[in-house]
Amino acid sequence: MHRLEATRLLLKHVRDEALVANLGPTADELWHLGHRDRNFYTFGSMGLCSSIALGMALSTEGKVVSLDGDGSLLMNMGTIATIGRERPGNLIVVVWDNEEWCQTGHQKSHTAFYTDLERVARGCGIEKTATVDDLEGLEAVFMQALEEEGPWFIVAKIEEGEPLPVMPIEPEMTLYRFRKSFTG
């Protein structure tokens, strides 16, 4: 499965949930497929996608979906432990696991070897976890995660597709637009 079609599938089910996107192709694809005020793009902030989503989940009522990347999460694995400790019921982490640092030249990441991020999450006390490698499996678990109390940790094994044009880089506008979508 490619991240583009997987993201399109998730967007079919998303209503007013906050979406936080990892930097690079994850953010570019989300922007092209369905830019909306409640998308928060983490330009440049490698490793912080799920940390930012955790903070949002702890301070809002609705579901918050982190669309993270394997390489970024590997750089800040402590955030998985903090999610396991804080247990926000409204947080869903989806890891787009292409087993590489795609954006910087397709270097193989640790998940191409022995690191199993789902097992890391379980070891951190996150009970609702899954690893999926096709669209059917992803759709089923994502729909369940939107309905059921979390935190959820879903590893989605993906293949890299052709890159889309880079989205406009506007961190200040993203913050302003995102905040305003909650305050009106």
Ligand X SMILES: Cc1ncc(C[n+]2csc(CCOP(=O)(O)OP(=O)(O)O)c2C)c(N)n1
Q: Which residues bind ligand X (CB under 6 A)?
A: 22-26, 44, 46, 69-72, 98, 100-104, 109
- CA-CA distance, 27 to 49, in Å (whole number)? 11
Positive or negative, the CA dihedral 105, 107, 110, 112 is positive
3: phi then psi, degrees, rounded to nearest 5? -60, -35
Instruction: For ligand X, give the closer residue by CB, 90 or 121.
Output: 121
Instruction: For ligand X, give the closer residue by CB, 23 or 155.
Output: 23
Please report, for residues 24, 72, 170, the alpha-carbon distance to residue 44 in angstroms, rounded to integers and kept in the order given: 8, 11, 11
Under a CB-based contact definition with an 8 Å cutoff, are residues 23 and 40 in contact?
no
Q: How far is the CB of 84 from Mg ion (least distance, A)?
A: 22
The angle formed by the CA atoms of residues 40, 30 and 167, to the nearest 5 degrees, is 80
Instruction: For Mg ion, give the closer residue by CB, 43 or 182.
Output: 43
Q: Which option in ligand X, Mg ion, none does residue 152 bind, with CB closer than 5 to 8 A by kind?
A: none
Q: Which option in ligand X, Mg ion, none does residue 26 bind, with CB closer than 5 to 8 A by kind?
A: ligand X
Q: Which option in Mg ion, ligand X, none does residue 88 bind, with CB closer than 5 to 8 A by kind?
A: none
Q: How far is the CB of 115 from ligand X (least distance, A)?
A: 12
Q: Which option in Mg ion, ligand X, none does residue 22 bind, with CB closer than 5 to 8 A by kind?
A: ligand X
- Give the residues lining the site for Mg ion (CB under 5 A): 69-71, 98
Convert 20-48 to b/e letters by CB count within 10 Å (16 or more is b): bbbbbbbbbbbbeeeeeebbbbbeeebbb
Instruction: For ligand X, give the closer residue by CB, 18 or 102.
Output: 102
Under a CB-based contact definition with an 8 Å cutoff, are residues 33 and 2 in contact?
no
Q: How far is the CB of 83 from Mg ion (least distance, A)?
A: 19
Q: How far is the CB of 90 from ligand X (least distance, A)?
A: 23
